[in-house]
Chains A and B, each alone.
Chain A
Amino acid sequence: MFLARRLVLAHFWVAFAGFLLAILLGEWQMYVRSPLHGWVNNPEHYYRSVTAHGTVMAYVLPTLVAMGFGYSICELALKRPLIGLRWAWAGFGLVVAGTVIAAATVAVGRASVLYTFYPPMIASAWYYIGVVLVVVGSWIWVALMSINLRAWRKANPGATVPLAMFGNVTGAYLWAWTSVGAAVEVLVLILPAALGLRDVIDAGLARVLFSWTLHAIVYFWLMPAYIAFYSIVPRAIGGRLYSDTMGRVAFVLFLVFSMPIGLHHTFADPQVGAGFKFVHAAMTAMVSVPTLLTVFTIVASVEIAGRLRGGKGAFGWVKALPWDNPMMLAVTFAFVMLGFGGAGGLINMSYQLNETIHNTQWVTGHFHLIFGGAIVIMYFMIAYELWPQLTGCATLPKGLVKAQLWLWFVGMMVLSMPWHLVGLLGMPRRMAYYDYTHPALQPQAWTVTASAIGGLILVVSAVLFVYVLATARRTSDSPAPFTFSAPAHAGERTPALLNTFGLWVGMMIALTIVNYGFPIVQLASLPGTAVPAISVGGP
C-alpha cells in the first residue's frame, strides 16, 4: 500500500473495538433476559444497552469497515496512492466524534430510543447529532471513492474498472443515496423536536423516511462481503473467478433494487397504502436475484479451485477443496448462513406471511443470522487478508483463525436458530422482562437459554478475533503484493454498461421517485398528522 495504511488501520481498530464492546452488551442482554438469570430489575438499563448495541453494530461497525476496506481497494486495486488523504482523515475524525457523542449520550441514559429511534419518542439532541456526524463522515468517503475512480479513469482511458473497485464505488453510491432518507428524517423532523423548536412531529412520515434507509443500509453493509466473495475468495483458495461480468451484474442489480423496497419494513404500518406495499414486496423479490447469482458464480469459482487441485467427478471436487484454508471455511459458513438467512428473508418479504412474524423475535433472529453471521464473518476475513498489508505482520496463525471462524459459525447458528423458533411462538421484540413460569411463556424458555449459550460462544470468538489481530507479529519482510482474483477466462470483455454507473444510478433514483415519491409527498402534505413529541430520558 502507499499512503492509506495507517488510515485503514485506524478505521478497523475503532470498528473492532466498538464491535467487542457492543457484543459484550449484546450477550449481557441475552443473558439477563434468559431463564438463567433473575430479572436485572432495571428496564431502563436494558433498553439503554439495546440502544448502544444496535447503534454501534448498525451504524459504526459496518460503516467503518466499508470505509476502511474502500480506501484499501482504492490503493490496492487501482495501484496508485489514495487521493484526498487529509479529507479521509477528516471523515474518520467525524465518524469517531459522532460515535463518541452518541455513545456518551446513550451511556448516561439520555437516548434510550433504540437504534431505529422511532419518533414521536425523542431522545436528547446529542444522540442524533452524533449519528449525523457519523453519516457525514461517511459521505466524505463516498466523495473520495468517486474522485479516486475518476482520476484513475482519466489516467487509464477506456480501461475496465477493476471488479473490486467497481463493487466498492457501487456500495458508495448506494450508501450516499440510501442515507438521504434517515438524514432527512433526523435533520428535518427529529432534530427540531429534539432541540425544542417544535413540539409536534409527523410519526408516519418519519417512519416512511426511515424505511427508505432501513433496508438499503443492509446492502451497504453487505457490499464489502460480496466484494470479498468475488475479488478475494477465489484467489485466496487458489481458484479463479468464474465470471467477472456476473459480478458486475450482481453489483448493479444491488444498486438498482436495494433502494426502492424499504416499505416492506412498514407492511404492518397503517400509514402506507396496499398498492405501494405490494410494489415494494415484488421489487424485494428482485433484490434476491443478485444474491442467487452470486451464490452460483462463487460456488462455480470454488469448484474451479477444487478441480485445479485434482478433484474429479460431479462432487469429487468438494473433497479436493483446501479445507485447511481459513477462507474456505469462511465462505462455506457464510453461504450456509446466507442460505438460512435468505430463506427467512423471503418469508419477511412475502406480503402476507410477514404478518405472522412482524415484530416478533423471528425478525431479530433473522438479521443476526444474515448480518451478524454471513456478512460479519466476511468482515473478519477482510481484516485477516489485509492485515499483512496494513501492519507488515507475518501470516496470521492459521489454527487460531480457523478456531475463531468455527466458533463464530457455531455460536451464530446456536444463537439464531432457536431465536427464529421463539418468534414463531409469538415472543415479542424489545422486552426487558419475561416470566418463564407463566404457562404461555414456558415453552419459550429453552430457546432463550440456547441463544444465551450461542451468544457466549460468539463473545469468545470476538475476543479471539481481536486477540489474533492485536498480537500479529511484525516481520521485517515487506508483505507480498496483494492480488485480487483472476478471471477464469482471460480476455473476457466487459460491456461498457457494466463499466459505468450512469444508467444504474439513474434507475435507482427513478425507482425511488416512483416507489417513494407519492407516499412521502402525501404524508408530508396531509394536514394534522403531526402528533405531540414525547421526550425520553429526562429533560
Chain B
Amino acid sequence: MTTAATSDGHDVAAASERRWAIIVMVIIALLVAMMIFTGLKWAAMPPSRVETIDPRTLHIDGEFVESNLGTTVAADGRVVTRIVAQQYSFEPQCIVVPAEMPVTFRATSTDVVHGFVVGTTNANTMLVPGFVATFTTTFKRTGEHLMPCHEYCGTGHEAMWAKVQVIPARDFLARAGRGERLSCVSR
C-alpha cells in the first residue's frame, strides 16, 4: 500500500471512529439525563435514607417494638408501615396498606441480611441489621401481593414471605382509628 492510501484510509477510519464515539457519548448522556429527570420529576429514589439502629434491642423498646409494627396513620396524616425481618418470618406477616396514598415503609432486621419485594411493584429494599430502610411508594391498584424475602438468609429462606393487602383508601382510613396499628394477621 502506498503511504497516501494508507493515511487516507487511516483518516477515514479515524473520522468514522470519532463519529461513533460522539454517538456513544450522546447515548450515555441521554441515559444519565433520564435518570436525573425521573429523579427530579417523580422524586423517585431508591431507599437511601441512612439511619442506624441497634438490632439487639429492637424488641425491647423503641420504634420497632412488636406492638408498634404494622400500618398506622401518623399525626401529620402520613401512612407509615413498620416491619421487622428475622430468621424466618416478617412481622407482621400480613400487611395492610391503602391504595392511591403514599405509604412510607420503615423496616429493619434483627439478625442477618434480609430483603423484600412486594409482588411486581417497585417496593423493593434490602434490610441490613444495624440500619433502618425507609422508602415511600404508592400502590395504584387494590389486591393482594406476595412479599417474599429475596435475600438468602439461611436454610429457612424459602418459607419467609408475607402478604400485602392493598385495600381502598376509604376502607383503610375507616379502620385506621387514632394511632392504631393495622395488620391482617389472623389469630
Give residues in A with beta carbon < 8 Å to B. Answer: 43-44, 47, 50, 112, 114, 118-121, 202-204, 207, 242-243, 246, 266-274, 277-278, 281-282, 285-286, 288-289, 292-293, 296-297, 300, 346, 350-352, 354-356, 358-360, 424-426, 428-433, 440, 488-492, 526, 528-532, 534, 536
- Choose among A289, A356, A359 the residue with the greatest number of B CB atoms under 10 Å from its CB: A359
Residues of B within 8 A of A489 (CB): 6, 9-10, 13
Interface flags for B97-121 (1: CB within 8 Å of A; 0: not) read 0000000000000011101010110
Pairwise interchain contact A293-B24, C-beta atoms closer than 8 A: yes
Partner of A289, one of B24, B35, B87, B157: B24
Residues of B within 8 A of A204 (CB): 128, 130-131
Interface flags for B15-57 (1: CB within 8 Å of A; 0: not) read 0110011001101100110110011001011111111101110
Residues of A within 8 A of B153 (CB): 121
Pairwise interchain contact A429-B122, C-beta atoms closer than 8 A: no
Residues of B within 8 A of A112 (CB): 155
Pairwise interchain contact A268-B9, C-beta atoms closer than 8 A: no
Q: In the bound complex, what is the Cα–Cα distance between A528 and B55 (angstroms)?
A: 10
Residues of B within 8 A of A114 (CB): 152
Residues of B within 8 A of A426 (CB): 117, 119-120, 146
Pairwise interchain contact B38-A424, C-beta atoms closer than 8 A: no
Pairwise interchain contact A351-B152, C-beta atoms closer than 8 A: no
Pairwise interchain contact B124-A528, C-beta atoms closer than 8 A: no
Q: In the bound complex, what is the Cα–Cα distance between A359 and B56 (angstroms)?
A: 26
Pairwise interchain contact B113-A359, C-beta atoms closer than 8 A: no
Q: How far is the CB of A269 from chain B (nearest CB, A)?
A: 5
Q: Which of B73-105 contact A (CB under 8 A)?
A: 87
Q: In the bound complex, what is the Cα–Cα distance between A285 and B35 (angstroms)?
A: 11
Least CB separation from A536: chain B residue: B154
Pairwise interchain contact A352-B45, C-beta atoms closer than 8 A: yes
Can you list 8 pairs linking A and B with CB atoms under 8 Å apart?
A121-B113, A203-B113, A271-B128, A351-B35, A358-B126, A488-B13, A531-B56, A531-B111
Q: How far is the CB of B83 from chain A (nearest CB, A)?
A: 13
Residues of A within 8 A of B148 (CB): 428, 431
Q: In the bound complex, what is the Cα–Cα distance between A534 and B10 (angstroms)?
A: 61
B151 contacts the other chain (Cβ, under 8 Å)?
yes
CB contact under 8 A between A354 and B151, given known A285-B31, A529-B131: no
**Extra contacts besides A121-B153, A534-B154 (14): CB < 8 Å:** A118-B113, A270-B126, A270-B127, A271-B50, A289-B24, A289-B25, A292-B27, A352-B122, A355-B123, A356-B122, A358-B150, A432-B158, A491-B6, A528-B52
| Total residues of chain B contacting the partner, CB 8 A | 67
Partner of B128, one of A203, A346, A358, A432: A203
Pairwise interchain contact B128-A269, C-beta atoms closer than 8 A: yes
Residues of A within 8 A of B42 (CB): 352
CB contact under 8 A between A359 and B117, given known A273-B50, A292-B27, A528-B54: yes
Q: How far is the CB of B132 from chain A (nearest CB, A)?
A: 6
Q: In the bound complex, what is the Cα–Cα distance between A379 and B143 (angstroms)?
A: 48
Residues of B within 8 A of A356 (CB): 120, 122, 124
Pairwise interchain contact A492-B35, C-beta atoms closer than 8 A: no
Pairwise interchain contact A429-B150, C-beta atoms closer than 8 A: yes
Partner of A118, one of B1, B46, B125, B151: B151
B149 contacts the other chain (Cβ, under 8 Å)?
yes
- Choose among A268, A272, A531, A532 the residue with the greatest number of B CB atoms under 10 Å from its CB: A268
Residues of A within 8 A of B56 (CB): 531-532
Q: How far is the CB of A295 from chain B (nearest CB, A)?
A: 9
Q: In the bound complex, what is the Cα–Cα distance between A430 and B113 (angstroms)?
A: 13
Partner of A293, one of B20, B34, B126, B146: B20
Residues of B within 8 A of A346 (CB): 31
Residues of B within 8 A of A431 (CB): 148, 157-158
Partner of A350, one of B34, B112, B125, B151: B34
Residues of B within 8 A of A492 (CB): 10
Pairwise interchain contact A277-B46, C-beta atoms closer than 8 A: yes
- Choose among B1, B24, B56, B126 the residue with the greatest number of A CB atoms under 10 Å from its CB: B126
CB contact under 8 A between A433 and B125, given known A352-B45, A360-B117, A534-B111: no
Pairwise interchain contact B50-A532, C-beta atoms closer than 8 A: no
Q: How far is the CB of B21 from chain A (nearest CB, A)?
A: 7
Q: How far is the CB of A526 from chain B (nearest CB, A)?
A: 6
Q: In the bound complex, what is the Cα–Cα distance between A531 and B3 (angstroms)?
A: 69
Pairwise interchain contact A433-B111, C-beta atoms closer than 8 A: no
Pairwise interchain contact B17-A246, C-beta atoms closer than 8 A: yes
Partner of B131, one of A47, A270, A428, A532: A270
CB contact under 8 A between A430 and B157, given known A270-B134, A285-B31: yes
Residues of B within 8 A of A202 (CB): 130
Residues of A within 8 A of B122 (CB): 352, 355-356
Closest 6 CB pairs of A and B: A274-B48, A428-B150, A270-B133, A359-B150, A355-B122, A430-B152
Q: How far is the CB of B22 from chain A (nearest CB, A)?
A: 12
- Choose among B46, B55, B87, B134 the residue with the greatest number of A CB atoms under 10 Å from its CB: B46
Pairwise interchain contact B152-A429, C-beta atoms closer than 8 A: yes
Residues of A within 8 A of B134 (CB): 270
Residues of B within 8 A of A491 (CB): 3, 6
Q: How far is the CB of A485 from chain B (nearest CB, A)?
A: 15
- Choose among B119, B125, B152 the residue with the greatest number of A CB atoms under 10 Å from its CB: B152
Least CB separation from A355: chain B residue: B122
Pairwise interchain contact A273-B48, C-beta atoms closer than 8 A: yes
CB contact under 8 A between A44 and B21, given known A270-B47, A359-B124, A426-B120: no
Partner of B46, one of A50, A243, A296, A351: A351
Q: In the bound complex, what is the Cα–Cα distance between A44 and B155 (angstroms)?
A: 6
Q: In the bound complex, what is the Cα–Cα distance between A271 and B13 (angstroms)?
A: 47
Pairwise interchain contact B52-A526, C-beta atoms closer than 8 A: yes
B70 contacts the other chain (Cβ, under 8 Å)?
no
Pairwise interchain contact A282-B32, C-beta atoms closer than 8 A: yes
Q: How far is the CB of B149 from chain A (nearest CB, A)?
A: 7
Q: How far is the CB of B68 from chain A (nearest CB, A)?
A: 19
Pairwise interchain contact A288-B28, C-beta atoms closer than 8 A: yes
Residues of B within 8 A of A285 (CB): 28, 31-32
Q: In the bound complex, what is the Cα–Cα distance between A305 and B172 (angstroms)?
A: 68
Residues of A within 8 A of B129 (CB): 120, 203, 531
Q: In the bound complex, what is the Cα–Cα distance between A229 and B156 (angstroms)?
A: 44
Q: In the bound complex, what is the Cα–Cα distance between A359 and B115 (angstroms)?
A: 8
